[in-house]
Structure 1
């Protein structure tokens, strides 16, 4: 018997009503699903960051992304540089993909041989990106600010997280 006929014979010998069974994930009411960043929450964060920047006389770019790095909200105040657009998005994406501030990831990277995170495409180690956590402390996204100094960008992002 050749291999082809053997395989067909095996298939015909299997019951035709076999249904694969997949174990369902346990229903655990103690672990609620991760809440996505709503459009309202993203607008609220951006408005709070803008207020913080205006109070100190700065125009900034604000980028808010979900925990996969997908853009949820973007706001560019008048008078910002075009370079700040990409930098704000990179800061937000960095803190969305790692539950760390972009600054702390930069510090971690600098302490490792060859500064490995510095060469990752789509990331930046400049200060001004912060992770967004839900009410249960789970990482759900990132906010990135650019337009002032990196230190001030981080302050404006922190002010947004504290206010909203």
Structure 2
């Protein structure tokens, strides 16, 4: 029998709250999705003014990071430069995305979930998602 570890709701909620607080200070808006080890949604926030198109993108960034076990930015770099990687269709699922903003959450050498952020630039989204992932990883919940 195998035990699968995953993020729990309280951890996911705290990560969402941290990201929302940071974005409010910037007077901007994003969508945040925290997912479990399978990429399925645990906690979600769509800030007032966040683009509607960012809703599925944030969820897909989290899903991709959890399933691929790597930041979505890395996947994006491989598909933008096929000589270094492959086409996005290689993954076999349209949910896979390559924009920055999806960060896996690692605990004890296994992916326990991921954080996806959408609504700002890929760099800003990735920085915010990383902050949420680090909060969970460090157990400061």
- Cα deviation, 1:42-100, whole Å, max 9, x if unaligned, reads 00111111122122222110011112121111111111111010110111111010111
Q: How does 1:74-85 map to 2 (within 5 A)?
A: 74-85=44-55
- Report the Cα distance in structure 2 between the residues aligned to 1:53 and 1:137, rounded to whole angstroms: 30
User: Equivalent residue for 2:74?
Assistant: 104
2:117 is matched with 145
CA drift at 1:150: 1.3
TM-score by length of 1: 0.73
Secondary structure of the equivalent of 2:94? coil
In structure 2, how many angstroms separate the alpha carbons of the residues matched to 1:65 and 1:147? 18
Q: RMSD of the TM alignment (CA)?
A: 2.0
1:1-164 to 2 correspondences below 5 Å: 33-112=3-82, 115-117=86-88, 120-134=93-107, 136-164=108-136
Return structure 1 stretches of 4+ with deviation > 3 angstroms. none
Indicate conservation of the 8 Å contact 2:117/2:125, yes or no.
yes
Helix, strand or coil at the partner of 1:109:
helix
TM-score normalised by length of structure 2: 0.84
Aligned length: 133
Unaligned runs of 5+ in 1: 1-24, 26-31
Instruction: Tell whether the 8 Å contact from 1:129 to 1:154 is kept in structure 2 after alignment.
Output: yes
Given that residues 115 and 130 in structure 2 are in contact (C-alpha distance below 8 angstroms), is that contact kept between their aligned partners in structure 1?
A: no
Max radius of gyration: which structure?
Answer: 1
CA distance in 1, matches of 2:64, 2:105: 12
Q: Which runs of 5+ in 2 are unaligned?
A: 137-141
Kindly provide the CA deviation profile for residues 111-143 of structure 1, in whole angstroms up to 9, marking residues without a partner as x: 335842256411111111110112x13111111
